[in-house]
Amino acid sequence: MTIFSATSPDRDHPLELELLLLPDTSMLLLAAIVEPLRGANRLMDRQVYNWRLSSPDGMPVTTISGFPISVSGSFDPTAKRDALIVIAGYNIASHASRDLIGKLRKAGRKPAVIGGIESGAWLLAMAGLLDGYKATTHWEDLEAFEARFPKVVLQRDRFVIDGNRFTTGGATPALDMALELIRRRQGHALAMDVASLFIYEDASLPSDPQRSISLGQLATREPRVATAVRLMESHIEDPLTVSQISEIVGLSSRRLETLFKSELGQGPRAYYLAQRLNTARRQLTAGAASAIQIATSCGFNSAAAFSRAYRARYGESPTDTRRKARQAQS
């Protein structure tokens, strides 16, 4: 059973969705799902998609930007719905309560269509709902996710649909997935019309690797730098040398240095290190792994080297960052 079936006998009837919203989620994640469905309703001139918002406790949810979002009520795992979509962003460790995980596990006991948007995949995996399924999550968390959930078949894709489970890597991939849902249920024409409402032209496939920055304009201006950035993003745990990257993209190290400073304002070494440290900082604040595990997953050969580089960039130790995150969550 899947809501993405083009041959479903009820595909012309309104699809009933529950969006379980977690605190510290970005507004963009929610909009990426809801707005394409709203656009489809508008263009079809009838309700082909209905949705209700819920939260773990039924209280309004405060986004990471500080905006409160009202919900219809608390999450009921036994409620009738066509699909449950769990939307989560930052500080997932502090929101993954035992009660919530238990409710998600209960919701998945019967044949159920369940999806996770960005960190929503972590909650589904914690509940065991992705065991044996292909899935993805935000690109910064891929290594930590894979280490934490070995029974999940991790994909480094923008979004993944595997039977009655689906997951996305972030806001833009979530928009891509919503358009894919519309395409499969109502056809290519409506999906393209919905995309045009947002002046959105998707040039990516679901299986395209996730990117840490938007590379569209960069790829047009200087495709060799864009290729180098993609290489860096796909080698966080096992960093390449600048010489190796230069050879792959067909440039000298000096020429690559010049192009990086021209296009990105810093050299390739500094850019690469910043990417690895940014990934480490996100993992530290999420509390998903130990500092040593994070250091290894971000390509540092020792905890001391990681700590020195981290302090130089952020002015505090990894331990300080984790302590502050825990204090903010308490």
In this structure, are residues 301 and 264 in contact, taking their beta carbons and an 8 Å threshold? no
Residues 145 and 258 in one domain: no
Provide the pLDDT for residue 9. 44
Higher pLDDT, 283 or 240: 240
pLDDT, average across residues 143-155: 92
* 141 has a pLDDT exceeding 90: no
Question: What letter represents residue 252's amino acid?
Answer: S
**Residue ending a domain, choose from 172, 197, 222:** 197
pLDDT band of 212, cuts 50, 70, 90: very low
Of 133-137, 208-212, 284-288, 289-293, least confident by mean pLDDT is 208-212
Residues 140 and 277 in one domain: no
Q: How far apart are CA 133 and CA 124, in angstroms?
A: 11
Alpha helices (H) along the chain: 27-44, 92-95, 98-107, 120-126, 142-148, 171-186, 188-197, 216-221, 223-233, 242-249, 253-264, 268-286, 291-297, 303-314, 318-329
Provide the percentage of residues in the chain whose pLDDT is more than 70.
90
Provide the pLDDT for residue 230. 86
**Residues pairing with 159 in the sheet:** 168
Residues 177 and 251 in one domain: no
**Residue ending a domain, choose from 197, 224, 255:** 197
Domain membership flag for residue 109 = yes
Provide the pLDDT for residue 216. 56
Q: How far apart are CA 324 and CA 330, in angstroms?
A: 10
For tokens 């792959």, the residue is: 248
pLDDT, average across residues 6-18: 70
Domain membership flag for residue 40 = yes
pLDDT band of 206, cuts 50, 70, 90: low
Residues 242 and 166 in one domain: no
Considering its fold, how many domains does the chain have in total?
Answer: 2
Q: How far apart are CA 20 and CA 112, in angstroms?
A: 15
Query: Tens of pLDDT along 69-108?
Result: 999 999 999 999 999 999 999 999 889 999 999 999 999 9
Residue 276 Cα distances to 112, 141, 245, 299, angstroms: 37, 11, 16, 7
pLDDT band of 187, cuts 50, 70, 90: confident
**Residue ending a domain, choose from 169, 197, 225:** 197
Report the number of secondary-structure helices (H) and strands (E) in the chain: 15, 11
Q: Which CATH number is 68's domain given?
A: 3.40.50.880
In this structure, are residues 85 and 21 in contact, taking their beta carbons and an 8 Å threshold? no
In this structure, are residues 225 and 263 in contact, taking their beta carbons and an 8 Å threshold? yes
Residues 43 and 147 in one domain: yes
pLDDT band of 191, cuts 50, 70, 90: confident
Query: Tens of pLDDT along 258-284?
Result: 999 888 888 999 989 988 988 888 788
Owning domain of residue 118: 15-197
Residues 164 and 220 in one domain: no
Residues 167 and 88 in one domain: yes
Residues 87 and 178 in one domain: yes
Residues 116 and 218 in one domain: no
Residues 171 and 245 in one domain: no
Domain membership flag for residue 202 = no
- This prediction has a pTM of 0.68
DSSP calls for 37-69: HHHHHHHHTS-SEEEEEEESSSSPEEPTTS-EE
Residues 182 and 219 in one domain: no
Residues 159 and 276 in one domain: no
pLDDT, average across residues 317-326: 85
Q: Which CATH number is 313's domain given?
A: 1.10.10.60
Domain membership flag for residue 237 = yes
Domain membership flag for residue 144 = yes
